[in-house]
């Protein structure tokens, strides 16, 4: 296989060693690393987002890390535009792009294309949510199936969020959400990518997550949150959802002790890692699954 022509994609749950593996790979194949993590884009969330260390940047060039203010909006579409440009730039320099992160939607948009559904007016969205509240999920889903029969095999009847979204799209665009998906294409061919999914053993991952939570507090996560809170970031901004912010806020308000902060961050991170693994199993079945031993063997190929 001609690895030099590939764009490497590395996905895995948080704390699975993605960044460390990417650096080792970059050294072997003359690569540079591009961020595919939705929290590591923020300047002010270096510790909580587990951004690579400064020494890592010195060894291998990293792109799209810590470049955006937490007060700014940033969509998957924004990321995709930046990524396309970075990939072109690196290819011109004969460098191999290595995309690393745990944001499944970023990778999906890159490999399958981004659905360009028009923005649904806020008043219509409120109206549909009120209808859902009034009917309940069971009756709402029955109504949705009549409106858009395509959802029958696509959405679980108990999935509230996707049911509401499908209803919004069909009502506003007169087209099924799944027709929109069908007509979506990537700018790349399947053969352009080499996809690695790090399948880290759950038991070992839990230990790594606990260690990381401790290290975050020792490295200054409390100070980082203090600075973040001074910025008065709106609760609807993505950065406000970073694991650790609410937990440290509770500690600063003297509601919990430092040990509880670490424990709560560990629990939330384990839950997040589980969601990432679930995404991987559902959306990345054709990816090359590798455990830590497989990763070492893979590096020996170069």
pLDDT of residue 40: 97
Helix (H) or strand (E) holding 148: none
pLDDT of residue 139: 96
Q: What is the pLDDT of residue 45?
A: 97
Query: What pLDDT is attached to residue 161?
Result: 84
Q: State the pLDDT at residue 206.
A: 95
Same domain for 137 and 194, yes or no, is no
Question: Do 229 and 253 meet the contact criterion of CB atoms below 8 Å apart?
Answer: no
Q: Are residues 290 and 152 in the same domain?
A: no
pLDDT at 259: 95
Please state the pTM of the whole predicted model.
0.84
* pLDDT number for residue 29: 95
Answer left, alpha or beta for residue 113, where phi above 0 means left and psi between -120 and 50 means alpha. left
Residue owning tokens 């950065």: 239
- State residue 235's pLDDT score: 87
Pairwise CA distance, residues 123 & 129, whole Å: 10
Could you give the CA distance from residue 196 to residue 125 in angstroms, rounded to a whole number?
Answer: 38
Domain co-membership, 286 together with 208:
yes
Same domain flag for 191 and 152:
no
Max Cα–Cα distance, the chain, nearest Å: 60
Residue 59: predicted pLDDT = 83
pLDDT at 3: 83
Q: Which residues contact 91 (CB under 8 A, 6 or more apart)?
A: 97
Q: CATH number of the domain that 152 lies in?
A: 1.10.20.140
* pLDDT score recorded for residue 21: 96
In 3-state terms, what secondary structure has residue 20? Answer: helix
Same domain (yes/no): 138, 108: no
User: What is the model's pLDDT at position 213?
Assistant: 96
Same domain, 210 and 109: yes
3-state SS of 40-74? CCECCCCCCCCCCCHHHHHHCCEECCCCECCCCCC
* DSSP letter (8 states) at residue 121: P
- What range does the domain containing 155 cover? 122-182
Q: Kindly report, residue by residue over 262-292, the tens digit of the pLDDT.
A: 999 999 999 999 999 999 988 899 999 999 8
**Stretches in the chain below the pLDDT threshold 50:** none
Do residues 192 and 82 share a domain? yes
Report the alpha-carbon angle 160-165-169, nearest 5. 150
Tally of domains within the chain: 2
Cα torsion 160, 163, 165, 167: sign: negative
């Amino acid at each position: 296989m001609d690895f030099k022509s590939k764009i490497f994609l590395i996905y895995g749950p948080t704390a699975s060693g993605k960044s460390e593996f990417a650096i080792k790979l970059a050294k072997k194949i003359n690569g540079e690393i591009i961020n595919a993590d939705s929290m590591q884009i923020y300047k002010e969330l270096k510790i909580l987002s587990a951004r690579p260390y400064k020494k890592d940047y010195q060894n291998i060039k990293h792109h799209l890390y810590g470049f955006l203010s937490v007060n700014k909006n940033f969509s998957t579409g924004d990321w995709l535009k930046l990524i396309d440009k970075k990939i072109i730039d690196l290819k011109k320099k004969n460098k191999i792009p290595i995309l690393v992160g745990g944001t499944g939607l970023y990778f999906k948009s890159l490999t399958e294309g981004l659905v360009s559904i028009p923005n649904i007016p806020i008043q219509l969205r409120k109206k549909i949510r009120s209808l859902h509240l009034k009917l309940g999920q069971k009756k709402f889903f029955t109504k949705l199936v009549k409106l858009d029969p395509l959802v029958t095999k696509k959405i679980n009847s108990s999935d509230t969020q996707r049911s509401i979204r499908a209803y919004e799209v069909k009502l506003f665009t007169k087209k099924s959400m799944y027709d929109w998906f069908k007509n979506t294409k990537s700018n790349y061919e399947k053969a352009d990518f080499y996809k690695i999914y790090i399948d880290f053993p759950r038991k070992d991952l839990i230990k790594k997550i606990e260690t990381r939570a401790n290290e975050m507090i020792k490295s200054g996560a409390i100070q980082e949150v203090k600075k973040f809170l001074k910025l008065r970031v709106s609760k609807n901004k993505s950065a406000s959802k970073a694991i650790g912010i609410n937990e440290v806020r509770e500690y600063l308000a003297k509601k919990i002790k430092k040990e509880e902060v670490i424990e709560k961050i560990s629990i939330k991170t384990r839950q997040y890692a589980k969601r990432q693994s679930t995404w991987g199993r559902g959306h990345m079945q054709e990816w090359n699954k590798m455990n830590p031993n497989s990763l070492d063997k893979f590096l020996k190929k170069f």
